[in-house]
Structure 1
Amino acid sequence: MYGFLVLAVFLFNCIICPIPIEYAKFLLLIIVLLYIYGIHNARHVKINEKNLYLKNLTEEMTIVHISDIHVGSLIRDSLMRKTVEKINEVNPDIVIISGDLADGTCSIGPNHFDVFKESNSPIIFTPGNHDDYPDLECVINAAENAKITVLNNESMKFKGVNIYGLPFSFYHNSQCNFNLNKNETNLLIYHVPMNWDEFIEMGFDIQLSGHTHGGQFYPATYFIKRMFPYSRGLFEKNRSYLNVTDGIGTFGPPIRVGTHCDMSVLKLKRKN
């Protein structure tokens, strides 16, 4: 992206409207510094703590919500290891990965995610769109080998919370057949931050999503807000919550400007 900006400055200066060489050098320096900062920023995980107050909660708990790690040609053990170190630093009750564990830029072997075995907390994963690209079966196999619980159109109960994993689709109606008890706390893992109103109506108290990367870098951050009304952050409506994480990894250019590698630490608390 920023390489195109360098080219644009060059073409503008040479063809359209020549500007003093000092100004051109300054613009190019700013672009290069932004790129260097973006690479550095994309490799440092930031912890964001958030409180969620739920009326039907039977036991308070802490969830680490991450997404979009994009393990592939550019992202391997280093970022996964940093992520696990941060998880162990937080020491949550459970970790939830809401899709795109894999990137699709390379095949996934059975031991690709083994770094996650070092997590002191149990991990749950529901696939996203990129997990289909390298062969979903291989991604699931590698996740299970790393002691990660895969919820692929399945559910489980953890400390009184019903956790449902709905696999990626822009059209959920054909596959979402969960029967919910609305008197209990129901959590949905769904990669794309869409259909929130419908999921609230079904009885979900929490939806955990990713996919958007928060736009990842300027100016894409502005465009992603137009594509997804809930593009990043924690939202509350009708006593229900939607958390959209910026993700851990990157898609395309390995840079982040205006966003961070986001580890959401969700504190589930009883509502008085």
Structure 2
Amino acid sequence: MRALINAYIIHVTLGVLVFLKGWHTFDKKKWARIILIILFGLEFLIYTYGFFFYRTLPDNVVQLIRVMGTSWMLFLFYTGGLWFITDLIYIFVRRLLKKPWYLNRQSRKFRIISFTIPILFVTGVMINGHYKFNNPVVQELRLNIEKPVEEFDSVRIAVIGDMHLGWMINRKHAKRYVDLIMSQKPDLILFVGDIIDSHIEPILDQDIKDELVRLSAPLGIYSCTGNHEYRYDAEEKIQLLNESGIVMLRDSVVLIDSAIYVVGRDDKVILDRKSTEEIISENHVDMSKPVIILNHTPDNLSEESEAGADLALYGHTHHGQAFPGNIATEIVFEVAHGYKKKENTHVYVTSGIGLVGPQFRIGTVSEIAIITILFRN
């Protein structure tokens, strides 16, 4: 609840700052100020009422408020940042030229142009970002694992991370995701956690399970847990996923067709979870066979490589989801998105197909990864 209150405070604060920026810009335009009062007044009332009294509203209205509210917050963040940078540049240049640099001395023309251009630019960026969210890409990757598999020469794996099914990523999105996954005709489907966002209620209310059960693959469907699986109703959500045909591996191992091991690690929110090496040892994994590890968070790639995994798959990062988040994740994680060979282990971190919050991909992509593994035969 505290996080929600903080989000509300940030949202309102950004709104006030932007309102004041517009008020200053249009100091001689009464009609523009009236529009600002109406626009920001309505936005504040709708957002505030929806935030505190959403249970009194129809579900479709609440959903619209969620989408518009998160989009508006991102818009305010970007435009506010650009206006701040513009004002800093203005001050620097004016001082360099030894001219008056106070913001209230800006010409009206400069104020209007510097106010309007960032709005148009951010609007264009967000339109493109929403399109990228709604149109996930398919990342193709071919890897060699130098281990023999008598049953088949290769396997085509669909790797999906961070669906975050719930209120923001609803059944409509789930249907599109399932259609995309199935169109790739994978031999094996592997999730790397956060299939469900937070609460189970929207999954039940929208019958999203009916979409998940459409998933099928000859070699099965498996997933590790993510941190969002453990946010509220954890056991109920995990049971629902199992019943949907997605086998949840919680510090456990499955041997597929006596040929390939898939090891699923519990998310690190489980403080006493086992290490990769412990799981492999306790389950007597035959390391002469290919071993694939599913682990939600890529914060310690060495654990999988030192355990001798052939392929380690991760999610969680969203690659920051929207700029400058992508830069932040590149700093925090050894691999924030994409492929790396770490010792003898192939590593892939997916940026995820869904997201949390605003429905935009800016500087990142929504994706599924199709990894074709070629074995030595």
**TM-score normalised by length of structure 1:** 0.91
Task: Tell me the alpha carbon deviations over residues 19-57 of structure 1, each in whole angstroms, 9 at most, x when there is no partner.
Answer: 341242121101111122212211112111101110114
Distance 1:271 1:257 in 2: 40
Tell me what 1:270 maps to: 375
Moved over 3 A (4+): 7-13, 15-20, 105-112, 170-174
Q: Report the counterpart of residue 201 of structure 1 in structure 2.
A: 306
Paired residue for 1:61, among 151, 155, 176? Answer: 155
User: Partners of 2:174 and 2:141 in 1: how far apart?
Assistant: 23
* Greater helix fraction, Structure 1 or Structure 2: 2
Residue 230 of structure 1 aligns with which residue? 335
Encode CA deviations 1:204-253: one digit per residue, 9 max, x unaligned: 11111000001111111111111111100011122311110010111122
Residues 148 and 106 (structure 1), Cα distance of their counterparts in 2 relative to 1, 3 Å cut:
closer
Task: Give the unaligned 5+ runs of structure 1.
Answer: none
Highest Rg: 1 or 2?
2
- The answer on whether the counterparts of 1:45 and 1:82 sit within 8 Å (CA) in structure 2 is no
Please list, as runs of the form range in 1=range in 2, the aligned pairs for 1:126-205 lying within 5 A after superposition.
126-159=224-257, 160-169=259-268, 174-176=273-275, 177-178=278-279, 179=281, 180-205=285-310
Partner of 2:80: 7
CA gap of 1:158–1:108, structure 2 versus 1, over 3 A, is: farther
| Structure 2 length-normalised TM | 0.67
The structure carrying a bigger strand percent of its residues is 1
- Paired with 2:136 and 2:337, the residues of 1 have a C-alpha distance of 16
For the residue of structure 2 that corresponds to 1:36, the secondary structure is: helix
Conserved 8 A contact 2:137-2:367: yes
Cα distance in 1 for partners of 2:120, 2:345 equals 46
Of structures 1 and 2, the one with the larger relative CO (CA 8 A, separation 6+) is 1
* SS of equivalent residue, structure 1 residue 88: helix
C-alpha separation in 1, matches of 2:183 and 2:344 = 30
The alpha-carbon deviation at position 16 of structure 1 amounts to 4.4
> Residue 55 and residue 170 in structure 1: after superposition, are their counterparts in 2 closer, same or farther (change >3 A)?
farther
- For residue 118 of structure 1, give the secondary structure of its aligned residue in structure 2: coil
- RMSD over aligned Cα, in angstroms? 2.3
Task: Give me the whole-angstrom Cα distance separating, in 1, the residues matched to 2:296 and 2:114.
Answer: 44
Partner of 2:214: 118
Match of 1:99 in 2: 193
Q: Percent identity?
A: 22
CA distance in 2, matches of 1:22, 1:47: 40
Which residue of structure 1 aligns with residue 366 of structure 2? 261
Paired with 1:240 and 1:169, the residues of 2 have a C-alpha distance of 21
Q: Does residue 322 of structure 2 align to residue 217 of structure 1?
A: yes
| 2:146 aligned partner, one-letter code | K
Report the Cα offset of residue 271 of structure 1. Answer: 4.5
Q: Which residue of 79, 84, 87 maps to 2:173?
A: 79
Shift in alpha-carbon separation, 1:196–1:230, aligned structure 2, 3 A: same
- In 2, are the aligned partners of 1:170 and 1:192 still within 8 Å (CA)? no
Size of the alignment, in residue pairs?
Answer: 272
Query: Retained in 2: the 8 A contact 1:9–1:28?
Result: no
